[in-house]
Amino acid sequence: MKEIKITTNSSDETMNVAKSLAKLLNKGDTVVLTGDLGAGKTKFTEGFIGYYGLQDEISSPTFTIINEYSAPISTIYHFDVYRLTDIDEFYAIGGEEYFDKGICLIEWGELIEDALPPENIRILFKIPNNGESSRILNITANGKKYEDILQSLYDDLNK
Ligand SMILES: Nc1ncnc2c1ncn2[C@@H]1O[C@H](COP(=O)(O)OP(=O)(O)OP(=O)(O)O)[C@@H](O)[C@H]1O
Ligand SMILES: [Mg+2]
C-alpha cells in the first residue's frame, strides 16, 4: 500500500494513529512529518513517544534540533529542523548519523530533503477549512518495507 488518508477529529485521535504506527516501527526507520504550522506534527510525535510510556507531553524542540528518548525497542530521535538555516547546518551537526541509530521522526523534514533516507514514511498534515479540531493526514510509503508497514497500519486502524 502506497498511500492512505486519515481524518482525525481531535489531538487524541492523531496521537492514536501515531501509537498504531509506533507498534510497527523498528530501529533504523524514518518518519518525515510535514505540513503547516500547528497542523499536528508535534502532537503526533507525542503520541508516538507515548506508546512507549516515556512521556505524557513532549516539548516542541524549540532550542534543540534533536530530542532523544530511550524506548525498549530503540532510541527514538525527534528532530525539528524548522530552525536550521540550511541543509549544510544539518550535515554540520551530524544529523545523518542518527538515521541508522534509532527511529527518527523529523518535523519539517522536507527542508532537508536531500539528506533524508530515500525510503521512508511521510505524513502530510493538513488543517481543513472547516475544523478547529480536525486534521487530514496523508500518509505515503516510499519503499517496499514501508509499503508493508502502511498496509499493516491500515489494517490496524480499520479492524
Ligand atoms: N485532530 C487534531 N490532531 C492534532 N492536533 C490537533 C487536532 N485538533 C486540534 N489540534 C491542536 O492543534 C495543535 C497542533 O500543534 P502541534 O504543535 O502538534 O503542531 P505542529 O505541526 O508541530 O506545529 P509546528 O510546525 O509549529 O511545529 C495542538 O494545539 C493540538 O491540540
Ligand atoms: Mg511542532
Domain containing 116 — which CATH number? 3.40.50.300
Strand pairing report for 30-35 and 102-107: parallel
For the chain, the 3-state helix, strand and coil shares in percent, each to the nearest 5, are: 35, 30, 40
List b or e across 34-47, with b for residues whose CB sees 16 or more CB atoms inside 10 angstroms.
bbeeebbbbbbbbb
pLDDT grade, residue 57 (50/70/90)? low
**Top mutation candidate among 5, 6, 42, 63 for ligand 1, by most atoms within 8 Å of CB:** 42
Question: For residue 83, which amino acid is it?
Answer: R
Residue-wise pLDDT for 104-121, tens only, equals 999 999 999 999 999 999
Q: Which of 151, 150, 123 is nearest to 137 (CA)?
A: 123
CA separation for the pair 128, 155 (Å, rounded): 25
Going from the Cα of 135 to the center of ligand 1, the distance in angstroms, rounded, reads 9
Least confident piece of the model among 34-43, 61-70, 84-93, 114-123: 61-70
pTM recorded for the entire structure: 0.95
Least confident piece of the model among 22-26, 55-59, 74-78: 55-59
Structural domain that includes position 133? 3-157
**Domain count of the chain?**
1
